Structure 1
Amino acid sequence: EAVFQWVVRWWEAGTRPEAELLAVMKHVRFAIMDASFVQVIVRAWPALDSKEGRDVIVLSLLDAKLALRRWGFGAHLVYVLGGSFGNEAGEELSTVDVYDPRTNAWKQVASMPITRYQHAGVALDGKIYALGGYGVDILSSMDMYDPQSDSWHLLADMAYGRAVFAAAAAGGKIYVTGGADDNYGSMEMVEAFDPLLGAWAAVASMSVGR
């Protein structure tokens, strides 16, 4: 983040051709930045609001994603996110416990920003995502956990609140399928989240709600 902010100050201090900015930006490692910083600060900077500017960001993230797939990412850990320890109001959890099979031990890490139960969790490219479920009401929100900084970040909401649904990572995206809506009806709608774009998109629905 500090390198990007330095480049911003350098660029805004004078008048230079866009090609010079893009040449410098190719050496900025966007993939190791906090995801919320990229979404809120980097993508909002007008100097990169062109096809060429956006391509620099996307290509940097793609290169890092390919490296992660080649080399793997960290230890194989088991994350338990939220849930409920009873049937009464106030018994929902936001805590996160992590099990390490190598040491046969559990530890607590940063709690989710909100309580969730009957939700879904997905791991993708070294990050943990908690989606939907129930809090006070049915949830459409998604939070991302970064193990490197032990912190959670709110990302884009799904189009629909849903609980007791399935979620999976495939092809660099997160897919959510079916589940129960706020009237406890079965849903057939399917959505896909693209971390590079920071956005959800509808994909083909299932034949029936489930």
Structure 2
Amino acid sequence: MPLGVHDLGLFAATVFVLNATPGVDMAYTVASTLRGGWRQGLAAALGIMAGCVLHTLAAAFGLAALLATSAEAFTLVKLVGAAYLLYVAWGMARAGLRPPPAAAEVTAPLSLWRTARQGFFTNALNPKVALFFLALLPQFIDAAAPSKTLAFLVLGAWFIAQGLLFLLALIALVAPLRRSQPRPWVGRSLHLGGAGLFTLLAAKLALTKP
């Protein structure tokens, strides 16, 4: 192909399997949607995809290769990422342990920018995503591609577009659950369960070896 990529059908299938595998991105999108509706879910999805843009640029211009060759750089990034996941988990735990508001109490609207920002950092600070981009994308680039950088960018853009569509579909499925007005303990359980999940993900990330 003129763009130097091949087997796009297989690439799309691979991306779908990755998107459908439970992980940080899916957990954060679901939690945000249940917490604040489809707008919060969309903000989380856009933040996550912004992180994927960063990983695409890093892979295209060779920055991700540093994580593959430098144990020190990989360790630094993974520890920062794990610390941020713990920060998110702590916020969810506080929300889960907080007494339910009185019926007449009006809660402040959630910040869409904050949700998007957290989504960005949970993705951008995960070195496993950077290494995945560096390992996956070259398999679908022609050896004789006129521009390897352009091919990386094309595949990265495809990954981002398909990933965003998947998260939008996930949000559409999850958002109606929030309108069922569950009992207060359900929301608290979701927050505490999310905090536990993010804590486990942080531990898993911190123990990942380069």
Tell me which structure has the larger Cα radius of gyration. Answer: 1
Higher relative strand content: 1
Higher relative helix content: 2
Fold shared by both chains (TM-score > 0.5) = no
Normalised by the size of structure 2, how large is the TM-score? 0.23
Normalised by the size of structure 1, how large is the TM-score? 0.23
